[in-house]
Amino acid sequence: MTPVSLVLFLTFTLLPFTAGYIAPGLSKGTIREQKVWVREGSSAVLPCHLSPRKTRGSSKQLPDKISVLWRRHGGSVHQEPHVVLEVGDSGLQKTALCMKPRVSLQDSAWRNGNFSLRIAPVRSEDVGLYEAQVTYKTEVHSCHVELGVITVTLNPPSPVIGNELLLMSCNSSHRASLVEACWFHNEHLGPTSRTICSFSRTLSIFYPAMSHAGSWRCQLRYSDKEIISATFNLQILGFEGPANPVVYAAAGSAADLPCSLSYLPSAFGMRVVAAHWSHLAGGHLQKWDISQNVSSRSFPLHLPVVGPGDAGQYRCAVSVGHGTISRNVTLAVVTVTPSIQGPVSEGNRLLLICSLTHSQGHERFQWTHLDSAPTKSKLAVASSHHLEGHSSWMRPTLEIPQVSQKDTGTWECSVHGPEGRLGAVEYDLQITGAQVSSAPSILSGQVTFGLTLTLFFLLAICVVALALQKRAQTPAFPALEGMFAVTVPGKSVEENQKGKIQQTEC
Ligand SMILES: *[C@@H]1O[C@H](CO)[C@@H](O)[C@H](O)[C@H]1NC(C)=O
Ligand SMILES: *[C@@H]1O[C@H](CO)[C@@H](O)[C@H](O)[C@H]1NC(C)=O
Ligand SMILES: *[C@@H]1O[C@H](CO)[C@@H](O)[C@H](O)[C@H]1NC(C)=O
Ligand SMILES: *[C@@H]1O[C@H](CO)[C@@H](O)[C@H](O)[C@H]1NC(C)=O
């Protein structure tokens, strides 16, 4: 049985003609009793259709010659019927005061024999037996509709603020005893749908979370086999996105920590002034206040430059209505540390250590040499071990046993999770060696060579001058001659130790 058919549980019963419903002296009436179940607060259409044949030949003067009277017989039998809505053949309309703005007839539909009564919104006191009398000339046709109301009560009322005990209750005006109440959540979503059944008409949710939001249907089963159900939408005012988000940022880059509400609080007449962010760093509590205007529900925390010391848990607290909702956001920082500080010489063994603070345990890492065209060489790291004492740190390490010129350039350590790429950090590797190939290295090599030559000549001149002087003053020490050392200055290849760092989308 589809939810729609359950929501609007219609029973078409042809009842015997009962004189009591029809004014005496008039004949040719038809009685069709129907039952309509409607959730309190939604709209109801009490159907009354007469075949146009009954009012044939009258289409031209229809509004003038037809009068409609809807009456309600109340909940109990002995209650006096009272007029709900009356449209006289002059077009004059009378409405019961208690239902005045909520009931309507669509007189444009009369031409098709549709005299249905619309009630919007329905209240629980609207239950009862309704009767329509459609008078055309001397003929009276009548319809009988029983309106039943299902009441869904949410305590506290919608929108429910996350983490407060929520009681959902379902009741109906049906008089039999309740056998079972079932609750269906997200029925149309297949695998994520849930069903809970109990003998109680109340369902308790101790910690309402965003996962409880969405469409619900309560179904009441009674001892007389009557089944009544109603659907409603549960709105939870909480945070968008996952419950405990993790933001991955490269050291030295900026990070934005998300804090977005699921609904605009002003849409529910709630005020939000600001969000309060806090972070405990080394025993010191840091605080930020993020203010937004009423048309915003997002309060992100922007950190211009992050380092490993900024990593950790951040808390975003937003005051809405009478309460405060908060959630934790974890900032994980990715850094690259080389095993050799300073320039790396060809042939050396080099380790590039990619460190991730606050690992969730499910991350995978990938080292990529971005500069090795045309195809990127990808080196998946086999083992990413946990260090003792830093259980939440992961250090996947890239080992280059013998550094060569082809390793020059940008290396990227990227972090991947089940949902895809989470973040990355880049490292620029510069190599010194005998065979210098790149243009800036040639230039610096030539300069160095020139400098060495000049120094050599200067020293040579000094030594020759010294030798000549010694020879003139003292007996010669031939052993001294030729004993001079030349210190070749180290190559002045530009050191790019810090590494270019770039953050990517998380
Ligand atoms: C009859 O009119 C009501 C509005 O008064 C409308 O909601 C309903 O759909 C109409 N029924 C048909 C069968 O057109
Ligand atoms: C359920 O509804 C019936 C009829 O409207 C009412 O008599 C009864 O007290 C209600 N029960 C609860 C628990 O609200
Ligand atoms: C409110 O903030 C939003 C986004 O932050 C912005 O687009 C909008 O123009 C702001 N409105 C006013 C009235 O300042
Ligand atoms: C957020 O972190 C604080 C401190 O670590 C903890 O007490 C709290 O339970 C956390 N809240 C959530 C919703 O995880």
Dump pLDDT digits (tens) for 35-86: 999 999 999 999 998 876 655 554 444 545 788 999 998 655 556 778 889 9
Asked if pLDDT for residue 496 goes beyond 60, the answer is: no
pLDDT digits (tens, 9 = 90+) for 344-359: 888 889 999 998 998 8
Pairing of strands 128-136, 236-237: unpaired
Asked: is 23-149 a CATH 2.60.40.10 domain? The reply is yes
CA 168 – ligand 1 centroid, Å:
32
Under the banding of pLDDT at 50, 70 and 90, the label for residue 188 is confident
Selected residue with higher pLDDT from 272 and 155: 155
The percent helix, strand, coil of the chain (3-state, each to 5) is 15, 45, 40
Among the bound ligands, name the one nearest to the CA of residue 36.
1
- Mention every residue, 6+ apart, whose C-beta is less than 8 A from residue 26: 135, 138, 139, 140
The CA 211 to ligand 3 mean position distance, Å, reads: 29
Report the atom number in ligand 1 closest to the C-alpha of 112: 14
For ligand 4, which residues put their CB under 6 angstroms from it?
244, 313, 315, 327-328
Spatial CA neighbour of 402 closest among 450, 345, 482: 345
One-character DSSP codes across 289-308? EEE--TT--B-PEEESS--G
Residues paired with residue 135 on neighbouring β-strands, in sequence order:
67, 140
Domain boundaries, the chain: 23-149, 156-237, 246-331, 339-434
Q: Between these two residues, 380 and 456, which has the higher pLDDT value?
A: 456
Candidate from 126, 167, 171 with most ligand 2 atoms within 8 A of CB, to mutate: 171
Q: What is the mean pLDDT of the chain?
A: 77
3.30.1370.60, 2.60.40.10, 2.130.10.10, 2.60.120.560: which CATH number matches 246-331? 2.60.40.10
Kindly report the protein residue whose alpha carbon is nearest to atom 13 of ligand 4. 327
- For ligand 3, what atom is nearest to the CA of residue 298? 5
User: Shortest CA distance to 505 belongs to which of 253, 299, 162, 296?
Assistant: 253
SS3 310: helix
Both tokens of 43, joined, read 């709209």
Alpha carbon nearest to ligand 2 atom 4, residue: 173
Answer CATH for 156-237 from 3.40.50.1820, 3.90.1530.10, 1.10.8.60, 2.60.40.10: 2.60.40.10
**The model's pTM:** 0.64
Q: Do domains 23-149 and 246-331 have the same CATH topology?
A: yes
pLDDT at position 500 is 37
Distance CA 387, CA 481 (A): 59
If one looks up domain 339-434 in CATH, what number appears? 2.60.40.10
Q: Is the pLDDT of residue 436 over 80?
A: no
